[in-house]
Amino acid sequence: MAPRSLDRLAARAGYAAGTLAGRYPRLALPIARRRGHGSVAGPETTIVIEGYPRSGNYFAVAAFQVAQPRPVPIAHHTHAPANVIAGLRLGVPVLVLVRDPEEAVVELVGIKPFLSVPLALRGYLRFYEPLLRLGDRFVAGSFEGVTADFGSVIRQVNERFGVHFSEFEHTKENLEAVEVESARLAGSRTGPGLPLMRTERPPEAAEASGTRDSLDALHRAYRSSSLAGLRRRARRVHDLLVGTVVESSR
């Protein structure tokens, strides 16, 4: 087998193992600390902001920081439900970012070509499904709400947790400040990260990557009949978290 094929298999195996371990704080969070993957919740944490990759993570963390009168310690970018669970155990506010599964999965595979659509879709489920049992203990912010009206999302956090964070206003000046803060966050990340999850390009460069033809092919792969069951699960998870449907009590 060619070296590149072996590298691809190893990277996929590493991603699969990471998403399986991601629900266990005692396992996932020490690994994240050791490999410099995101910011792990700890005693100094003021809020946890976590989501599956390509779900507005950079924007939310940067915009939250820009809105506050002084820097606050935020746990973020581990892309593991374990960080959400750790934040809840610490008793700090937790905001979970939720994007349409097709858009999030396709964009992730578009910038991480060693990933496959089925593997990334399973990663989506492994991130969000463990959070369903936590009920309303956190605030779920939709991608659309976070990127268009983040002030209202912060207001939900304040009301849910009885805190008083400053709300973000979508002004030209603030959005420019978010771009600067996003670049700072991207540049401040150290260590090798977890397999396939670390992107060295700044967020705006990642957004522009991939051709329309390649993205169309990824959308077709996502909609293939072989993934129908996984798609239904992902849609259910998304809709439950953002409140589009109500879970049956039966």
Q: Are strands 139-142 and 74-76 parallel, antiparallel or unpaired?
A: unpaired
Residue 88 has pLDDT above 60, yes or no: yes
Task: Report the predicted TM-score, pTM, of the whole model to 2 decimal places.
Answer: 0.89
Which CATH number is 146's domain given?
Answer: 3.40.50
- pLDDT 10s digits, 136-148: 899 999 999 999 9
Residue 202 has pLDDT above 50, yes or no: no
Give residue 2's pLDDT. 54
- pLDDT 10s digits, 98-133: 999 999 999 999 999 889 999 999 999 999 999 999
Give residue 10's pLDDT. 87
Residues 96 and 146 sit within 8 Å (Cβ to Cβ): no
Q: Phi/psi of residue 213, each to 5°?
A: -60, -45
- Asked whether residue 152 is assigned to any structural domain, the reply reads yes
Mean pLDDT of the chain: 89
- Asked whether residue 193 is assigned to any structural domain, the reply reads no
- Asked whether residue 191 is assigned to any structural domain, the reply reads no
Residue-range definition of the domain harbouring residue 114: 3-186+201-242
- Asked whether residue 145 is assigned to any structural domain, the reply reads yes
Strands of the chain (E only): list them.
Answer: 47-51, 74-76, 94-98, 139-142
pLDDT above 70 covers a percentage of the chain that reads 86
CA atoms within 13 A on the CB side of 142: 14
CA atoms within 13 A on the CB side of 202: 11
Strand partners, 39: 76
Give residue 213's pLDDT. 72
> Which has more pLDDT, 203 or 139?
139
pLDDT above 90 covers a percentage of the chain that reads 76
Which distant-in-sequence residues (6+ apart) come within 8 Å of 199 by Cβ? 111, 112, 186, 206
Q: Tally the domains of the chain.
A: 1
